[in-house]
Amino acid sequence: MKLYELTFSQIRAGLVEGDFSSRELSESVLDRIERVEPAVSAFVTVRDRGEILAEAAATDARRAAGRCRGALCGVPVAVKDNISTRGLATTCGSRMLEGYVPPYDATAVSRLRDAGAIIVGKTNMDEFAMGSSNENSAFRSTRNPWDAGRVPGGSSGGSAAAVAAGEVPLALGSDTGGSVRQPAGFCGVVGAKPTYGRVSRYGLVAFASSLDQIGTMSRDVEGAAALLEAIAGEDPRDSTTAAEPVPSFVGDAGIDLTGVAVGVPDEYFSDGLDPSVAEKVRDAVEIIRSLGAKVQTVSIPNLRFGIAAYYLVADAEASANLARYDGVKYGHRSDHAEDLDGLYRMSRSEGFGAEVKRRIMLGTYALSAGYYDQYYLKAQKVRTLLARDFEKAFESVDVLLAPTSPTTAFALGERVHDPVSMYLSDVYTVPVNLAGLPALSVPCGLSASGLPVGLQVVVDKFREPVMFRVARAYERAAGAFPAPPGL
């Protein structure tokens, strides 16, 4: 087996036992990127090869001296291109920030560096994290490693594709309405979104501030857990981080789930769910039942309002957050304007893509005089009702199991001109963000057409250890998930 094919748990053991070095691992990853990146287009920026290998060699020296004990020490990691990296371009997949090089690291990135991880590069994304297919990037469309004619999901599609294609073992993404879990499901990798406030948003370019969270991706559950454990924790630079201790998310590798109460919400198995997806998810539920979990049906009555509420709240916050990109203070500045009004108009017209403009206009309308109560305020009330539905469900169960997405990865171009159809691909993920809950997607088989299906595991706030325990037990019981064929 090639080094780039190893799971995180295998990499961790191999580095500790001296089976290979961080430099050898990094060389394997970089060679893989050179070989498959023309077909996948997962990265916007890859760091200089010499810099990466020198950093890996220094890590090996620290390990030899006993100063490199962390789980991520010497492990290559990719970072989504909306997370600030000192000295490395951060574009948010937008012409508005093309060429921008941050003078500072996001807290999540600085914690990765402190843990000894090696930043390989920045992954492609839907512009400003607004999209479900990665087709909204201003630079290129990332392709699904399972089928080059299909999308990898979005907005963290570059991170998911990079992990699935073996270009990196671990990656950071961001999840505002499913942007870690949905692409993880489409690409057959593990994607975890933490509780809102578990991970600092300092250095994460804002889309919708009450929803955004940095999440983790890996080919196995242990990798997603270890990566999240490294970046989690309170941060004085982000007042929304929670003063909660960070427990071990990795835990043991046992598969006994005796005593765990599992709920399967009826509403997740309604019209619009692909029968092939439903079959694989129900098969996964039965495997989890066989491990000792007690399974019951539960209800999330207001789930059907999640998409409508989400796109009002998220777009309203996007309208406010993106107002700063005006050609004066931040971002692209038009060379063709003749007055101040023209500078604002032309800078934003040239810098933003069609989807970002659509959401800014929708959000601005929802916040406008005469419509605030009718749209934005009502959406916030629905958000509260939805959160209460989850609270009630967690009174009787520890975990909720559901599909990550109603379908498998769809074809490139299939939904570009149908925004409603595109938005509905997130129908099962956005409710979790509205409620501020942690959730992950773990691969649970291949559909009849040979594409990955994701099982979504949802738990109550700050119960990530339970989430990872259930997902890891399922993963071990189901067996290793295959790599994409044909790359």
Q: Catalytic positions, please?
A: 80, 155, 179
Q: How far apart are CA 85 and CA 47, in angstroms?
A: 11
User: b/e per residue, 262-283, with b = 16+ CB within 10 A?
Assistant: bbbbebbbeeebbebbeebbee
Please say whether the beta carbons of 408 and 452 come within 8 A.
yes
- Bridge partners of 458? 400, 439
Mention every residue, 6+ apart, whose C-beta is less than 8 A from residue 401: 262, 263, 264, 281, 284, 285, 288, 455, 456, 457, 458
Task: Find where tokens 């469309």 sit.
Answer: 141
The helix, strand and coil proportions of the chain, stated in percent and rounded to the nearest 5, come to 45, 15, 45
Measuring CA to CA, how many Å separate 148 from each of 33, 142, 251? 16, 9, 36
Cross-sheet strand order for the sheet of 190-193: 43-46, 118-123, 76-80, 170-174, 214-218, 190-193, 439-446, 452-459, 399-403, 261-265, 294-298
Q: Which long-range contacts (CB under 8 A, 24 or more apart) does 381-388 make?
A: 382/302, 382/305, 382/308, 382/309, 383/309, 383/313, 383/434, 383/435, 385/302, 385/305, 386/300, 386/302, 386/303, 386/305, 386/306, 386/309, 386/431, 386/434, 386/435, 387/434, 387/435, 387/436
Burial of 378 (0-12, 13-18, 19+ CB in 10 A): middle
Query: What's the token pair of residue 320?
Result: 């406010």
Among the listed residues 162, 187, 176, the one whose alpha carbon sits nearest the alpha carbon of residue 76: 162
CB atoms closer than 10 angstroms to residue 373? 8
Cα dihedral angle (251, 257, 260, 262), rounded to 10 degrees? Answer: 110
Q: How far apart are CA 123 and CA 248, in angstroms?
A: 27
Within 100-231, residue ranges assigned H as helices are 107-114, 157-164, 181-187, 221-231
